[in-house]
A and B are shown apart, each in its own frame.
Chain A
Amino acid sequence: MNYPKFLQASLLVISATRGVAEIKLKPFLQTYCIQCHGTDKQKGDRRFDLLSDDPENFDEAETLQEILDQLNLGEMPPEEKKQPKGEELKAIIAQLTESLQHARQAARENSGNAVLRRLNRSEYRNTIRDLFSLNMVDFDPTVTFPPDDAVEGFDNVGEGLVTSDYLLQNYLKAARKIADKAIRPGPRPKKIHLIAKGEEIGGTMRGFRPEVARMTIKLRQPLNLSQLRKRGVPADGEYVIRVKALAHQRKSRYKDEDLRYNSDESMRLSISIDSRELGATAHRTIGEFEIPDDEIIEIEHRVWLDQGFNFNLHWANGPNGSFKRIMRKVLPKYTDDAIYPLRNPPEMYIGSGPELHVYELEIEGPFYDEWPPPGFARYFPDPPKKPDVSYLNASLTRLAAGAFRRPVDSAELQPYLTLAGRHFEEKQDFWAAAKYGMRAILTSPNFIYLAEAGTKELSQHELATRLSYFLWSSMPDAELLAAPLDEPATLRKQVERMLQDPKSAAFVENFAGQWLGLRKLGEMPPDPEKNRSYYVDNLESAMREETHRLFQYILDGDRSILEFVNADYTFVNAALAGHYGIPNVGSDEFQKISLKPDHHRGGLLGHGSILTTTSNGIETQPVIRGVWILENLFGTPPPPPPPDVEPIEPDTRGLNTMRDLMEKHRDNPTCFECHRRIDPLGLAMENFDHVGVWRDRYSKKSLIDPSGEMADGTRIGGADGIRKYLLGRPDQFSRCLTEKLFVYALGRRLSFTDREDTDRIVEGMPKLNFGLRELIHQIVASETFQRK
């Protein structure tokens, strides 16, 4: 069934048949629906016998919209129940469509509720980053914020963004940290320049060749500068780290399996940073470098370091395990003079095996492109020697306009200024007062909440803000705030500019990450013993990267959104390709590759990320996969299981396959109601195991049968069947993605009043070749987006 065309047809029917075939909704429901959705049963938690038949009642309108959708999709009444005749169905659809349209009109005229939602964690962070031009890589004032709850799958929906006393406490703490970071008066911090050579370098074993510091195992023998060990670097800023290193004896007398090491790989040196104060959470690898054999290479790496941070060098792919193990268990295999399994002197080993040598280690910095920092000078330009109250007021006013994302008038700002002014008067410390005022502004509802007050039309600033949090998950920049967004051409130009800006990575990360549930990847990690390569090759991040890249690629090229369903290409590195059984991908770099049908990988359904997220780390979960597909590709999520139904504890004795297990759902009609839609989809995906590896059979004896029948009777055979099914119904997928984008863009649930825009956009998609970028332009240009 082609949904919008049908709808279009039914709209035409209205005008033609109006008054002629008008039928009442109540009797229709009575005949076809009440049996399952009435007093006796409320399947899917739906009950229609109490409907008043008044679509202008807002709550009822939502239910009526749902009934209309089900009729349009042909999902209800179920196949085996009594079916309405074609004419009758057309008439009721036409009538419902029309009355809902009226209802929407009325609702829009009467509503005008201000949309009020607070920034979520990542929006808060990004906003602070942009407000003060801060480097946030290692500075996260939101680290103690409680996680934001998702509504409709997105954590930027106002309904889920509750505020608690605990969160308020955190806002206060965060504001203090930010003020300390952002207000940096005084001269440019002094540079340090530290160099250590050979055995002067911290962390190396001493007493060997003095010109060399050595690493003999993977990661666990970090080298560093002992001068930085206690306090780290003296000030926030950009530093240059220089290393002279050499790969020594990559191939040696030791067998790889004894050292648990791969001598075929070039040695790699990694640089990590951490902070004593912040502990393990601050640990991060900032760079990895290939080191050539027997030739000293000079590495130079620029990196932003926050005050107190230190750095370490590691051998990223050295022998696994401890040095002790080598001394006790490996060495005795190679010389009679070593004793098993005791600690032999390291002098017997050092120099005999593969080693990563460091000759020189150096750090210089901090360097600044500008001083004072731009995020400080923006609000506190050219501070006088003895800054006074008027300078304080002017500065805080500039800050408030930035923080509130709009012009501010002096009356509303007075309380903040008075507060800071009093502090200045009492303490006579200008910069303490400035920080105090900044903290007040950063804890103001005007900053924390995206408030849209007053008229139904969004103001220019409100629209800029909405757009900015949609595409950047952050505040609008000056250009966006100044642009006349009521001109469609300007709006379009700004959207293009925003999508090209690196800040739009937040859109991919936050929208795609939540739409597809990628954020849950890693919540049920596979068993490390049985899935070694998942960890060794870092497959989890490779899988996530693949999906992000697909989204980015479709977005950048305005490619068809149907490529999410099926694409003849994907993005892999060598490890992921190996995991997928795709040969001849040699590089660790991600690359676009062409897919053949027998790779089974086209589109999201073949992505390891999604196949792993929908499994529990040990085995696949067809129900979860089925629900995932219904929710995220079909746009028809099944209702949650009725609360009074205990999950079946299936009797698994004598059952061989997942399919046998799922047949249990048939035994219980309450379950079967929804599972007839869920299970065929889930079972069709069974050829992918719990980490997305293709398989033809569960075991020697039992072959996987991925065939099944959809609720509408269509036969599907495996994942390709689902792809075919969806590609045959492109509007269904368009609608699904459009609705998801709308929820994310608006930060609220969709209501039936938004339906017109959604319908229009979905209908127009074929003409736009289903382009994703165009879809975003359509959404931004819609009335739903531009009004409250």
Chain B
Amino acid sequence: MKIQTIILMCLLTAIYPASAEDDKRPNIVIIVARELSRKDLSCYGGAHASPSIDRLAKQGVRYETAWGMLDAKLSRRTLLTGRYPCHDAATPLFPILLEKAGYRVTTSANDPAKSLSFIEQFKEDSPFLLLHLDDTEDLDVDRLVGKLVTSIDGKRLKDNTVIVVTSDHGGGDSKADIGAHIPFIVRAPFLTKGDRVSKDVIDLSDLFPTVLSLAGIDVPGDLKLDGRTMIPSLRGSDDPFEKRNWIYSEVGDFRMVRDWHHLVDTEGNFHDVENDPLQEKKVSPLDKQAPGRRKRLQMILDRFSD
């Protein structure tokens, strides 16, 4: 399936009839920066100043452990369909589902002006979804985020608008934890008072169910999803049964899964990525917990083998 075609479709059919006046469903803004690495953002300890994104993180939740796929295209596909690429399943895209449900939807492929004017011209007749796919240089996206946030807040939409800033790929070519890591920041004032760094593990497949539940849309009955809604995590829920306990990434035939501590891949690697993020060491045979952790992750990884 060609992602771009579908996105184009969305662009052409952007205007939908208004819903009821007292529609309290939140607005959703998703900014997916192309190849934006955590190393680029100062809130992740990166080298570059990213004041706008940092401020957003301060007002929301910043995820320490978020994975995309090991390839930007695959990441976007996962994001839009809620399914891992390996399934190769035909699934609806969430912007379309939202549109059907009465959302005003705009998808902007690297067109900051369009995105900004969409916000500026927004009238509060129905909630909106803005999906902005950014393709600029690193620091431009920070500026864009700053402008979008200023505009949203200026229109007093802050309290009812969810803003997600993430990336489709951030780690070069390595088939490892660092290759899958992406920044992931969410501001949602009605879910969290913010200023939190979450250690919950998430991946891009979680965005689809999250958006659906924010919009109050039931997942279609025949639709299988890989991710889970992040709303409990955003609320700061303690309960692991409401959250992910592993995340997944792939490229080509290569697959890997991890949890809070360890990583297992289809090439037989097993690492304690919490203490060895660059996967340089073997796990010590004295680590009594490791074999159990490995078997569990292997069990999950095996679900994705052909």
Chain A residues at the B interface, C-beta cutoff of 8 Å? 207-209, 248, 253, 328, 334-335, 337-339, 342-345, 347-352
B51 interface contact, C-beta 8 A: no
Asked whether, in the complex, the Cβ of B296 is within 8 Å of the Cβ of A350, the reply is no
Asked whether, in the complex, the Cβ of A344 is within 8 Å of the Cβ of B240, the reply is no
Asked whether, in the complex, the Cβ of A253 is within 8 Å of the Cβ of B241, the reply is yes
B293 interface contact, C-beta 8 A: yes
A-B contact pairs, 23 of them (CB 8 A): A209-B238, A253-B241, A334-B241, A335-B245, A337-B245, A337-B300, A339-B296, A339-B299, A342-B292, A343-B289, A343-B291, A344-B293, A345-B245, A345-B293, A347-B260, A348-B240, A348-B245, A349-B240, A350-B240, A351-B237, A351-B239, A351-B240, A352-B239
Interface centre among B237, B240, B260, B291, by most chain A C-beta atoms within 10 angstroms, is B240
| Assembly CA distance A338 to B292 (angstroms) | 10
Determine the chain A residues whose CB is within 8 A of the CB of B199 once the complex forms.
Answer: 207
Instruction: Knowing A350-B240, A352-B240 are in contact, say whether A338-B296 is a contact too (CB < 8 A).
Output: yes
| Assembly CA distance A248 to B239 (angstroms) | 11
Interface centre among B239, B246, B296, B299, by most chain A C-beta atoms within 10 angstroms, is B296
B259 interface contact, C-beta 8 A: yes
Asked whether, in the complex, the Cβ of A350 is within 8 Å of the Cβ of B292, the reply is no
Smallest CB gap from B288: residue in A: A343
Asked whether, in the complex, the Cβ of B300 is within 8 Å of the Cβ of A343, the reply is no
| Assembly CA distance A236 to B300 (angstroms) | 56
Chain A: minimal CB distance from B117 (Å): 41
| Assembly CA distance A248 to B246 (angstroms) | 25
Chain B: minimal CB distance from A293 (Å): 15
Asked whether, in the complex, the Cβ of B260 is within 8 Å of the Cβ of A345, the reply is yes
Determine the chain A residues whose CB is within 8 A of the CB of B296 once the complex forms.
Answer: 337-339, 342, 344-345
Q: Which residues of B in the span 227-270 have a Cβ within 8 Å of any Cβ on A?
A: 236-241, 245-246, 259-261
| Assembly CA distance A207 to B239 (angstroms) | 14
| Assembly CA distance A253 to B242 (angstroms) | 12
Interface centre among B237, B241, B260, by most chain A C-beta atoms within 10 angstroms, is B241
Smallest CB gap from B300: residue in A: A337
Chain A: minimal CB distance from B240 (Å): 5
- Cβ-neighbour of B292 out of A207, A339, A347 (below 8 A): A339
Known: A207-B260, A342-B291. 12 other contacts (CB 8 A): A209-B238, A328-B292, A337-B296, A337-B300, A339-B295, A343-B292, A343-B293, A345-B293, A347-B259, A351-B237, A351-B239, A352-B240
Chain A: minimal CB distance from B20 (Å): 36
- Cβ-neighbour of A345 out of B237, B259, B300 (below 8 A): B259
| Assembly CA distance A350 to B200 (angstroms) | 12
Interface centre among A248, A328, A344, A349, by most chain B C-beta atoms within 10 angstroms, is A344
Asked whether, in the complex, the Cβ of B292 is within 8 Å of the Cβ of A352, the reply is no
Chain A: minimal CB distance from B227 (Å): 14
Smallest CB gap from B238: residue in A: A351
Asked whether, in the complex, the Cβ of A342 is within 8 Å of the Cβ of B295, the reply is yes
Chain A: minimal CB distance from B105 (Å): 34
| Assembly CA distance A352 to B299 (angstroms) | 22
Determine the chain A residues whose CB is within 8 A of the CB of B239 once the complex forms.
Answer: 351-352
Asked whether, in the complex, the Cβ of A347 is within 8 Å of the Cβ of B291, the reply is no
| Assembly CA distance A731 to B40 (angstroms) | 98
Asked whether, in the complex, the Cβ of A335 is within 8 Å of the Cβ of B292, the reply is no
Chain A: minimal CB distance from B248 (Å): 12
Interface centre among A253, A335, A338, A351, by most chain B C-beta atoms within 10 angstroms, is A351
| Assembly CA distance A339 to B291 (angstroms) | 11
| Assembly CA distance A351 to B240 (angstroms) | 6
Chain A: minimal CB distance from B222 (Å): 21
- Cβ-neighbour of A347 out of B245, B289, B295, B300 (below 8 A): B245
Q: Which residues of B in the span 271-306 have a Cβ within 8 Å of any Cβ on A?
A: 288-289, 291-293, 295-296, 299-300
Smallest CB gap from A338: residue in B: B296
| Assembly CA distance A335 to B300 (angstroms) | 12
Asked whether, in the complex, the Cβ of A347 is within 8 Å of the Cβ of B240, the reply is yes
List 10 tightest A-B contacts by C-beta distance, closest first. Answer: A342-B292, A351-B238, A343-B292, A339-B296, A343-B289, A351-B239, A347-B260, A348-B245, A352-B241, A348-B240
Chain B: minimal CB distance from A582 (Å): 42
| Assembly CA distance A334 to B245 (angstroms) | 13
Determine the chain B residues whose CB is within 8 A of the CB of A335 once the complex forms.
Answer: 241, 245
| Assembly CA distance A352 to B240 (angstroms) | 6
| Assembly CA distance A350 to B238 (angstroms) | 8
Chain B: minimal CB distance from A214 (Å): 9
Interface centre among A345, A347, A351, by most chain B C-beta atoms within 10 angstroms, is A345
Chain A: minimal CB distance from B84 (Å): 16
Smallest CB gap from B260: residue in A: A347
| Assembly CA distance A334 to B300 (angstroms) | 16
| Assembly CA distance A253 to B289 (angstroms) | 25
Asked whether, in the complex, the Cβ of B241 is within 8 Å of the Cβ of A345, the reply is no
- Cβ-neighbour of B261 out of A334, A339, A345, A349 (below 8 A): A345
Determine the chain A residues whose CB is within 8 A of the CB of B241 once the complex forms.
Answer: 253, 334-335, 352
| Assembly CA distance A337 to B242 (angstroms) | 13
Asked whether, in the complex, the Cβ of A337 is within 8 Å of the Cβ of B246, the reply is yes
Smallest CB gap from A327: residue in B: B292
Determine the chain B residues whose CB is within 8 A of the CB of A348 once the complex forms.
Answer: 240, 245
| Assembly CA distance A208 to B291 (angstroms) | 23
Smallest CB gap from B294: residue in A: A342
Determine the chain A residues whose CB is within 8 A of the CB of B260 once the complex forms.
Answer: 207, 345, 347
Smallest CB gap from B299: residue in A: A339
Determine the chain A residues whose CB is within 8 A of the CB of B261 once the complex forms.
Answer: 345
| Assembly CA distance A348 to B259 (angstroms) | 10
Determine the chain B residues whose CB is within 8 A of the CB of A328 once the complex forms.
Answer: 292
| Assembly CA distance A253 to B240 (angstroms) | 12
Determine the chain B residues whose CB is within 8 A of the CB of A344 once the complex forms.
Answer: 292-293, 296
Chain B: minimal CB distance from A28 (Å): 84
Determine the chain B residues whose CB is within 8 A of the CB of A207 once the complex forms.
Answer: 199, 260
Interface centre among A208, A209, A348, by most chain B C-beta atoms within 10 angstroms, is A348
| Assembly CA distance A351 to B199 (angstroms) | 14
Smallest CB gap from B290: residue in A: A343
Chain A: minimal CB distance from B228 (Å): 11
| Assembly CA distance A431 to B240 (angstroms) | 62
